[in-house]
Structure 1
Amino acid sequence: MFTIVISAFSGALFGLLMFYITKSFILALITGMVIVLAINFFVGRYFLKKLTELFKLVEKDVRSDKAERAIERLKEGYKYANWQFFVKEQINSQIGIILYSKKRMEEALPYLQKGFQKNWLSMAMLATYYYKEKQYDKMKDVMEKAIKNSPKEGFLYSLYAYYLQSINETEKALEVLTNGNKKVPLDEKLEAALESVKNNKKIKIQNYGNLWLQLNIEKIPQGAKPYHMHLMNQKIRRR
Structure 2
Amino acid sequence: MYTILISISTSLLAALLVYYTTYSIVGSVLVMGVVLILLNYLIGKSILKKLTTVFKDVESDLKNNRFEKAINRLKDAYKYSKWQFFVKEQINSQIGIILYMQRKFDEAKGYLDKGFSKNWMGMAMQATLYFKEKNYDKVKSILEKAIKNSPKEGFLYSLYAYFLVEMGEKDKALEVLVKGSKKAPLDEKLEANLEALKNGKKLKMKNYGALWMQLNIEKMPQGIKPYHMMLARQKIRRR
Superimposed CA distance per residue, residues 95-128 of structure 1 (whole angstroms, 9 cap, x where no aligned partner) = 0000000000001001000000100000000000
1:205 paired residue number: 205
Measure, in 2, the Cα distance between the counterparts of 1:175 and 1:214: 26
Superimposed CA distance per residue, residues 212-234 of structure 1 (whole angstroms, 9 cap, x where no aligned partner) = 11001111112233356622332
Q: 1:107 to 1:229 in 2, by over 3 A?
A: farther
Give the secondary-structure state (helix, strand or coil) at the position aligned to 2:48. Answer: helix
1:177 aligns with 2:177: yes
1:80 paired residue number: 80
TM-score (norm 1): 0.97
**Matched residues, number:** 239
Does the 8 Å CA contact 1:117/1:145 hold for their aligned counterparts? yes
Does the 8 Å CA contact 1:97/1:229 hold for their aligned counterparts? no
RMSD: 1.1
1:128 paired residue number: 128
1:145 paired residue number: 145
1:52 aligns with 2:52: yes
The letter of the residue matching 1:48 is L
The letter of the residue matching 1:162 is Y
2:110 paired residue number: 110
Does the 8 Å CA contact 1:160/1:176 hold for their aligned counterparts? yes
2:65 paired residue number: 65
Does the 8 Å CA contact 2:90/2:115 hold for their aligned counterparts? yes
Q: Report percent identity of matched pairs.
A: 61
Give the secondary-structure state (helix, strand or coil) at the position aligned to 2:116. Answer: coil
The letter of the residue matching 2:15 is G
Does the 8 Å CA contact 1:161/1:176 hold for their aligned counterparts? yes
Superimposed CA distance per residue, residues 39-72 of structure 1 (whole angstroms, 9 cap, x where no aligned partner) = 1111011111110111111000001111101000
2:158 paired residue number: 158
1:24 paired residue number: 24
Measure, in 2, the Cα distance between the counterparts of 1:228 and 1:128: 21
Does the 8 Å CA contact 1:11/1:32 hold for their aligned counterparts? yes
Does the 8 Å CA contact 2:97/2:108 hold for their aligned counterparts? yes
Measure, in 1, the Cα distance between the counterparts of 2:108 and 2:201: 33
1:8 paired residue number: 8
Measure, in 1, the Cα distance between the counterparts of 2:228 and 2:145: 22
Q: What stretches of structure 1 of length at least 5 have no aligned partner?
A: none
Measure, in 1, the Cα distance between the counterparts of 2:36 and 2:8: 6
Q: What stretches of structure 2 of length at least 5 have no aligned partner?
A: none
Superimposed CA distance per residue, residues 146-182 of structure 1 (whole angstroms, 9 cap, x where no aligned partner) = 0011001000000000100111101111111111111
